[in-house]
Amino acid sequence: MKKVVVIGGGTGNFTVLSGLKNYNLDLSAIVSMADDGGSTGILRDELGVLPPGDVRQCLVALSDSSRLMRGLMNYRFENGGLGGHSFGNLLLSALEKVTGSFEKAVEEAGRILSIKGKVIPVTTNPVRLKMILSNSKVLEGEKEVHLSTEIHRGYKSIYLEPFPEVNKRAIDEIMNADAVILGPGGMYTSLIPNLLVDGISKSLRDTQAKKIFIVNLINKKGQTPKFKVGDHLREIQRYIGKDIFDYVLVNNGKPAKELLAAYSEEGDPVENDLHDPRIIHADLVSNALKEVQKGDTLQRNLIRHDQEKLASELMKIVAHL
Amino acid sequence: MKKVVVIGGGTGNFTVLSGLKNYNLDLSAIVSMADDGGSTGILRDELGVLPPGDVRQCLVALSDSSRLMRGLMNYRFENGGLGGHSFGNLLLSALEKVTGSFEKAVEEAGRILSIKGKVIPVTTNPVRLKMILSNSKVLEGEKEVHLSTEIHRGYKSIYLEPFPEVNKRAIDEIMNADAVILGPGGMYTSLIPNLLVDGISKSLRDTQAKKIFIVNLINKKGQTPKFKVGDHLREIQRYIGKDIFDYVLVNNGKPAKELLAAYSEEGDPVENDLHDPRIIHADLVSNALKEVQKGDTLQRNLIRHDQEKLASELMKIVAHL
């Protein structure tokens, strides 16, 4: 069975894992731990737990349990003191309190949800993402980075505080993989936060696994405006230290017009500027019009990768390894 | 396999079910739905759900899953907007929202917890307990009834509002039982609220099952002060309409001195005044000193029935039916 490792966080990881789950693979998800927005942020602040949100999404993606159980995990309470919390976040936080360990909580939740594969926090230190912009403004936390529209003007540094210890299991997974997939996901909020954990970039450079980069569909306004595929690759490679990718998946499908119109305020579609044999062009875009979930305190992407199309393209690569 | 039905709510039900679970029985718990205190009360008010607290206790009592899972269900969050909520209550409330039905929620939670037996809400109408005292003061809700110290001066009426429709499954269970157990539990907050649901008292009068009453250990101050066994039986029989009990279990063990001292403010031990062949005297008292759980917003009984002693006495009756 081919061993595939997916690195990221948020809905990008969810999409890739949901698609790949339907194939016969040994799947692992390495998840960023810098999230501090929405329900996750409140739980971190009030309970002192590690961020459950991205881990929850990966668990649900890998779950083999009933539709009801998966719906339960993503259910968000709408009112009162619980308003905005997703049930799955509360499950992970309660399990962390009861077991005394976030990793045990993830393992136990994985058992409850009958997951197929592994979910591995990139670190189990309580890190916060910080970013210092060129104008010396400091963005404190992933939520502030997520909301910033000034990053494209330049930044001095991005780092995790306190400096985190890597989860050794993440290194082992990368070193033993047949394929490692990075992306899609927020450049500064999902992808780079994983690479800022000491040892992740080195293991990406050292592993014999084939490395696949999935380029985002849409540039985030004020963060990666007008970035072309080459710009995305160069930005991510600054943190890896080397051009490591064997394959780069680029969408050439067209999102529905209604979505593009609704999105014109959000950002522009990523265009390709590279003539490189590593580039794989395919229609990867979802045509589903997804309603934003009620009670959610964060806005979610509406133009998304299609999990089946994405998995099908990925399997063309992985099946031949 | 003998079919045994336990009627009540709160910790009384928990104790009886926990003890009987270790025997080879077909067990059902019929649970009062009038609870509106603590975490349960907040969930009712803020989310408009049915009261999960007593159901949760029964589910945990009947659960065959790991100690960790049972601990998780009873875990109470300590801080912030979640403070005071037990995780199991949140599970039931989220399941009710996701399935659209409290009964389906109970069934699904029972599956997650691998319960041995059935947990049946006595009604699925959103009822509130009301009590009108002799001085015309109205106690609104179970929590106010629980906290009142004026009930012993007399009351005019106690009722559920709106007038509830009985859960037909509860009637079926009672009619098909070999034994029905009532108590222990708060007279006005756990026992009578079940009997106020139309059809429960009639089925208790009509069923061929042996009826067992477990008398409380301690009289609640201001509610049943100096009540003897005969007083407890008479009060409960006013709502059943008939003297139905075949067996009456009365404790003759002595609680630890430390507990009795701590309890002298709370109420007096129930003494027996009956010379009746139906009375079974046994040492039923727990010697464990149980710490009140952190974060819980309600005070819990410290002088309790011992689940093993109680189950052992009950099985002497049930095994011979």
- Band of residue B241 on the pLDDT scale cut at 50, 70, 90: very high
Q: How far is A294 from chain B (nearest CA, A)?
A: 13
Say whether pLDDT at A298 is over 70: no
Say whether pLDDT at B298 is over 60: no
Q: Which residue has the higher pLDDT, B263 or A98?
A: A98
Quick: pLDDT tens for A53-68: 999 999 999 999 999 9
| A114 in contact with chain B, both atoms CB, cutoff 8 A | no
Q: How far is A106 from chain B (nearest CA, A)?
A: 14
| A282 in contact with chain B, both atoms CB, cutoff 8 A | no
DSSP string, A254-289: ---HHHHHHHTTT-PBPBP----TTEEEE--B----
- Band of residue B216 on the pLDDT scale cut at 50, 70, 90: very high
DSSP string, A133-145: ETTS-EEESHHHH
Biggest CA-to-CA distance, chain A: 54
Residues of A in contact with B91 (CB under 8 A): 87
| A276 in contact with chain B, both atoms CB, cutoff 8 A | no
User: What angle, rounded to 10 degrees, do the helices at A102-112 and A87-99 form?
Assistant: 130
B97 and A75 within 8 Å at the Cβ level: the answer is: yes
Provide the percentage of residues in chain B whose pLDDT is more than 70: 96
Say whether pLDDT at A295 is over 50: no
Residues of B in contact with A99 (CB under 8 A): 68
Quick: pLDDT tens for B169-185: 999 999 999 999 999 99
- Provide the residue type at B142 as one letter: E
Residues 6+ apart with CB under 8 A from A274: A228, A229, A230, A233, A248
Q: What's residue A253's pLDDT? A: 92
- Whether the Cβ atoms of residue B119 and residue B7 lie closer than 8 Å to each other: no
Say whether pLDDT at A93 is over 80: yes
Residues of A in contact with B77 (CB under 8 A): 47, 93-94, 97
Cα–Cα distance measured from residue A186 to residue B7, given in angstroms and rounded to the nearest whole number: 55
- Band of residue A260 on the pLDDT scale cut at 50, 70, 90: confident
Cα–Cα distance measured from residue A156 to residue A137, given in angstroms and rounded to the nearest whole number: 10
Say whether pLDDT at B253 is over 60: yes
Q: What's residue B293's pLDDT? A: 46
Q: Is A232 exposed, middle or buried (0-12, 13-18, 19+ CB in 10 A)?
A: buried
Determine which of B40, B82, B93, B95 to mutate to test the interface with A (most A C-beta atoms within 10 Å).
B82
Residues of A in contact with B82 (CB under 8 A): 46-47, 81-82, 85, 90
DSSP string, B208-242: -SEEEEE--SBPPTTTSTT-BHHHHHHHHHHHHTS
Residues of B in contact with A75 (CB under 8 A): 94, 97-98
Residues of A in contact with B75 (CB under 8 A): 94, 97-98
Cα–Cα nearest to B59, from B95, B24, B83: B95
Cα–Cα nearest to A282, from A259, A314, A250, A304: A250
Q: What's residue B301's pLDDT? A: 53
The residue in chain B having the minimum alpha-carbon distance to the alpha carbon of residue A42 is B80
Q: Phi and psi at residue B4, in whole multiples of 5°?
A: -120, 130
Residue A47 has its nearest CB partner, among B45, B68, B77, at: B77
Cα–Cα distance measured from residue A138 to residue A158, given in angstroms and rounded to the nearest whole number: 10
Cα–Cα distance measured from residue B26 to residue B63, given in angstroms and rounded to the nearest whole number: 14
A82 and B68 within 8 Å at the Cβ level: the answer is: no
Q: What's residue A35's pLDDT? A: 95
The residue in chain A having the minimum alpha-carbon distance to the alpha carbon of residue B73 is A94
Strands A128-133 and A155-161: antiparallel
Residue A81 has its nearest CB partner, among B46, B71, B95, at: B46
Q: What's residue B283's pLDDT? A: 96
Q: Which residue has the higher pLDDT, A301 or A225?
A: A225
Average pLDDT over residues A244-272: 86
Tokens of B211: 């009826």
Tokens of B168: 């037909």
Determine which of B42, B91, B98 to mutate to test the interface with A (most A C-beta atoms within 10 Å).
B98
Average pLDDT over residues B281-302: 64
- Whether the Cβ atoms of residue B46 and residue B38 lie closer than 8 Å to each other: no
The residue in chain A having the minimum alpha-carbon distance to the alpha carbon of residue B85 is A82
Say whether pLDDT at A87 is over 50: yes
A47 and B87 within 8 Å at the Cβ level: the answer is: no
User: What angle, rounded to 10 degrees, do the helices at A102-112 and A53-62 form?
Assistant: 30
Q: What's residue A259's pLDDT? A: 74
Say whether pLDDT at A18 is over 50: yes
A98 and B68 within 8 Å at the Cβ level: the answer is: yes
Quick: pLDDT tens for B69-89: 999 999 999 989 999 999 999
B77 and A98 within 8 Å at the Cβ level: the answer is: no
- Band of residue B245 on the pLDDT scale cut at 50, 70, 90: very high
Quick: pLDDT tens for B88-144: 999 999 999 999 999 999 999 999 999 999 999 999 999 999 999 999 999 999 999
| A77 in contact with chain B, both atoms CB, cutoff 8 A | yes
When the candidates are 3.40.50.960, 3.40.50.10680, 3.40.50.2300, 3.40.50.2000, the CATH number that belongs to A2-125+168-318 is: 3.40.50.10680
Q: Tokens 């989310």 label which residue?
A: B47
- Whether the Cβ atoms of residue A55 and residue A88 lie closer than 8 Å to each other: no
Total beta-carbon pairs less than 8 A apart between chain A and chain B = 72
3-state helix vs strand vs coil in chain A, percent to 5: 40, 20, 40
Residues 6+ apart with CB under 8 A from B62: B17, B21, B27, B29, B110, B113, B115, B116, B117, B119
Cα–Cα distance measured from residue B10 to residue B142, given in angstroms and rounded to the nearest whole number: 12
